[in-house]
Structure 1
Amino acid sequence: MPDDLQDRLGPDLKSFESIQASRAFHKESAGEIMQRRHVALAPDRTAAEAVAALQRASDMIGSVDTVFVIDADNRPIGAFKPRALLLVPPDTPLSKIMSREFPVVSSATDQEEAALATAGTEFKSLPVVDNDGRLVGQITTKMLARVVAEEAAEDMLKLGGVNEDARPTDSVPKIVRNRLPWLLAGLVGATIAAIIIGSFEEELEKAAILAAFIPVVMSMAGNAGLQASVVSVQALAMGSNWPGDRLIYRFGRELLGALVNGAIAGSILASLILAGSLIFDVEDPVRLALATSMSLLTVTTIAAIVGSFVPLGLSRLGIDPAAATGVFITTSNDVVGVLVYFLMASTFYF
């Protein structure tokens, strides 16, 4: 909600105090999306006292997913799920129930990082602390799910070369402003690819049929690169960073997968060319089949490797991989695909 509208409507809003408090934090931070209402108890309180506290808080908070345990300075030292209270005697202290392994985020933490913090843990509600480590609120399960959905939608738009703020109701000037820069970046790559094609004009004059397979090679390169990059961006969004030997293992797996896919696609194309030569007049179909199949094998492999590791490299440079990957993959695959195709044609066809 715009700040001026909040100021006008604020006094009439039931949650005005929460809105005012959230405005003190950075946009899309844990502090902005957190809920200040939560259940926090001392470690010496008993299970029976915890049940009573949950009953008192139920009207104010609603369903409680996680109960936090705090020390004398209001710093979280443990957490447990309410169902744990049903499995112990009423006089059991919370220090015996709580788990000391639980995620905690600062109010300044980006909301996407906060959502990732709960991955692999039993706790889905996330405690938020201030600069001194004191508990100031929680991010609920519902809010975390909303953040994940919003971030996924943003990444999808970025991969498509569209600004993350784009909406179906955008005006014409905003559509142009959001989309034209990415289109122009793609135009640069397409222009370079056209220049490469032009440099092989003599080869095209000798065998015009080569031009018929340029779209096939470029399309395969684009699809292979896009598939690999989407998987990488998704994995990075889920918190994977492939350190050390895991990176080497992934490289080997992607390389092998790309080689297999490229070999299968190349074999199918070669078979189609040979079969077509029985019907149509094709000059030296065996050499043409070899050139095109080797092109597909090579460009599919290169595109898959580039698509897999460009997002990782961008991420480590501090660049949003979803924002830059789409146009980078498309442009590089166009250029590399055309260049590889004509090099293979020069080697195997002429």
Structure 2
Amino acid sequence: MVDEADHNDDEQPRDDSAYELDPRAVAGILYAVDTKDQARLIELMEPMHAADIADLLEQLNAFDRGRLIRLYDREFDGDILSELDEGLREDVIAILHPEVLADAVRELDSDDVVDLIEDLEQPQQDVILGALEETDRLAVRQAMSYPEGSAGRLMQREVVMAPEHWNVGQAIDYMRNSDHMPEQFYHVILVDPRMHPVGNVTLGKLMGARRDTPLHDITEEMFTVIPATQDEEDVAYAFNQYHLISTPVVDDEGRLAGMITIDDAMAVLDEEHEEDIMRLAGVGDESSLSDSVADTVKRRLPWLAVNLLTAILASLVIALFEDTLARFVALAVLMPIVASMGGNAGTQSLTVAVRSLATRDLTGSNVWRVIRREVLVGLLNGLVFAVIMGVVGLIWFGSPQIGYVIAIAMVINLVVAGLAGTVIPVLMDKMGVDPALASGTFVTTVTDVVGFFVFLGLAGMVLL
């Protein structure tokens, strides 16, 4: 019998705005700010998640944002700072009262504090560090001593560990009586006498086992330790590849230094994906809606200049066939079609290649197979559109020769597009250059130059 409830759930329309800020709530908050009604403002913002409050602050202009923060005052939560866009953190911290900032920062785990201060200027770093207790300040400074973008920066110092010879009852009693337990954790890390992690015990197995069960009897089969100096991208890949929830981090001597949890690893993946998208579009890897006009211009101008140079290169190719274009106006009409189709096909192959390189699916062992596939796809797509454009050229201009020319040019340019869209990012990755950073410009240049050269060259041979 079909479950009617499940069937009805499937038919319910999806509410895409379920997790968006309620416009009415935002209007109420702004009205409370305008009327300086602090009690009403706190009442409206109390049920909001820290991430939603951060989104609200990012959407407001600087004037309204400052008024809201000053009125919200001591209710400001440290998690809001963690959720804020990096470009706004300095502005918000500058507005907060020092005592409010101190209380907000003390609520954060060490990894969140590191993430908060690593992009700030030294004076603001000192303000935040000064608000921490001595032990927390030492932990943050130690984490900051690791290279930027490393596991040491990503890890949190708050961990739950137990000697490997303990049993379940001893571990449970220890956790119940401890005053320094993390608010959220997933594993108890077993350590040997030299503080080397030797295993993980999940909370589910811990709570389901008898009290006299040795902890080493219920450890997880999959156990991974991460060096503190390991790149955070490799850490995120390991979490995604091996379905990790949390894993210990060790120092140079193999001793337990901290722990990385899945939320931090997934945040790294999200940042990498966002950076790839931004770089593919040539708008920088740290662009946001809160950036000033000057900052936005500064990031975009260099890539627009590169695009201008490549456009000039394509124009020089066109200039070589000036006489041909002067005699056959139809070529000027059809020429952008060849270049545009090649550019789009190249972008498709490029996107697949860059994503596969980022997820490490594209490697030396399968690169030639992928290149052959993209070239074959370009060939087949080219043949399909060659037939279409051949017919269009014949009907539109009444010239079979023009139809032949654009058909052959279409096939060649789409094959080149598939080849360039795969080979260029692979070569850049081999040279240590981020393939998402400049591949798009080079691929577009190749397809434009080849498209114009082949189309106009063939036209010159066939029509003249």
Is the TM-score greater than 0.5? Answer: yes
Amino acid corresponding to residue 4 of structure 1 in structure 2: P
Amino acid corresponding to residue 150 of structure 2 in structure 1: S
| Cα RMSD (Å) | 2.5
Say whether residues 1:229 and 2:355 are aligned partners. no
Correspondence 1:1-350 to 2 at 5 A: 1=117, 2=120, 3-13=122-132, 16=137, 18-53=139-174, 55=176, 60-85=181-206, 88-99=209-220, 101-244=222-365, 246-274=366-394, 276-277=395-396, 282-284=397-399, 286-350=400-464
1:160 Cα offset (Å): 0.9
Check whether the contact 2:393–2:406 (CA below 8 A) recurs between aligned residues: no
Judged with a 3 Å threshold, the aligned counterparts in structure 2 of structure 1 residues 71 and 257 are, in CA distance, closer, same or farther, namely farther
Judged with a 3 Å threshold, the aligned counterparts in structure 2 of structure 1 residues 241 and 87 are, in CA distance, closer, same or farther, namely farther
Give unpaired runs (5+ residues) of structure 2. Answer: 1-116
Distance 1:165 1:135 in 2: 33
Count of aligned pairs: 343
1:87 Cα offset (Å): 5.7
1:209 Cα offset (Å): 0.4
1:207 Cα offset (Å): 1.3
Amino acid corresponding to residue 247 of structure 2 in structure 1: L
Which SS does the other structure have where 1:37 is aligned? coil
Judged with a 3 Å threshold, the aligned counterparts in structure 2 of structure 1 residues 301 and 54 are, in CA distance, closer, same or farther, namely farther
Judged with a 3 Å threshold, the aligned counterparts in structure 2 of structure 1 residues 185 and 90 are, in CA distance, closer, same or farther, namely same
Distance 2:179 2:413 in 1: 60
Amino acid corresponding to residue 310 of structure 1 in structure 2: I
- Give per-residue Cα distances to partners, 1:60-84, cap 9 Å, x unaligned: 3123223333322222233343223
1:190 Cα offset (Å): 1.0
Distance 2:174 2:451 in 1: 65
Distance 2:256 2:458 in 1: 63
Which stretch of structure 1 is more off in the superposition, 261-270 or 296-305? 261-270
Which stretch of structure 1 is more off in the superposition, 253-262 or 218-227? 253-262
Distance 1:83 1:209 in 2: 72
Check whether the contact 1:291–1:349 (CA below 8 A) recurs between aligned residues: no
Which SS does the other structure have where 1:128 is aligned? strand
Distance 1:212 1:196 in 2: 16
Distance 1:120 1:340 in 2: 44
Which SS does the other structure have where 2:190 is aligned? strand
- Give per-residue Cα distances to partners, 1:193-230, cap 9 Å, x unaligned: 11110101121122110111221111111111111111
- Give per-residue Cα distances to partners, 1:74-131, cap 9 Å, x unaligned: 2223334322335655433333332454333222222222211223213232321111
User: What is the TM-score of this pair, normalised by structure 2?
Assistant: 0.68
Distance 1:13 1:229 in 2: 47
Which SS does the other structure have where 2:409 is aligned? helix
Distance 1:336 1:174 in 2: 35
Distance 2:387 2:443 in 1: 25
Distance 2:177 2:393 in 1: 76
Distance 2:387 2:221 in 1: 57
Judged with a 3 Å threshold, the aligned counterparts in structure 2 of structure 1 residues 283 and 35 are, in CA distance, closer, same or farther, namely same
User: What is the TM-score of this pair, normalised by structure 1?
Assistant: 0.88
Check whether the contact 1:254–1:305 (CA below 8 A) recurs between aligned residues: yes
Check whether the contact 1:39–1:57 (CA below 8 A) recurs between aligned residues: no
1:133 Cα offset (Å): 1.7
Check whether the contact 1:155–1:322 (CA below 8 A) recurs between aligned residues: yes
1:309 Cα offset (Å): 2.4
Amino acid corresponding to residue 85 of structure 1 in structure 2: L
1:158 Cα offset (Å): 0.9
Check whether the contact 2:151–2:235 (CA below 8 A) recurs between aligned residues: yes
